[in-house]
């Protein structure tokens, strides 16, 4: 900036304006890249959270399936002979 202010010819002023324009362009590029990185990071965070939710749901389904399998195994282990016989509650034999 001080070089621009100290410029004595129009050519020097144009040269320093070109340098400033170039620097402003580079700053804008860095800012744009920073914003892109910020948005990409936010998207990846959302994707990771969604993946975690899917994993948690699949684990809950797996546990429920194992519980149902356990109940099914227990039910299948019940005796099946005489299930159609009437029980005589309260009568002694």
CA angle centred on 34, ends 33 and 39, rounded to 5°: 95
Domains of the chain, residue spans: 30-60
pLDDT, tens only, 81-93: 766 667 677 666 5
Alpha-carbon gap, residue 81 to 83, rounded angstroms? 6
Q: What is the mean pLDDT of residues 71-79?
A: 88
pLDDT digits (tens, 9 = 90+) for 3-24: 667 777 888 778 888 988 999 9
DSSP letter at 83 equals: T
pLDDT of 80 reads: 77
> Is the pLDDT confidence value at 78 over 70?
yes
């Amino acid at each position: 900036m001080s070089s621009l202010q100290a410029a004595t010819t129009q050519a020097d002023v144009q040269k320093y304006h070109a340098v400033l324009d170039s620097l402003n362009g580079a700053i804008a590029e860095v800012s744009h890249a920073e914003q892109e990185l910020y948005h990409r990071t936010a998207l990846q965070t959302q994707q990771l959270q969604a993946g975690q939710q899917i994993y948690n749901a699949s684990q809950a389904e797996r546990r429920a399936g194992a519980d149902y399998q356990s109940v099914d195994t227990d039910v299948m282990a019940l005796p099946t002979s005489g299930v159609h016989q009437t029980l005589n509650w309260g009568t002694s034999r």
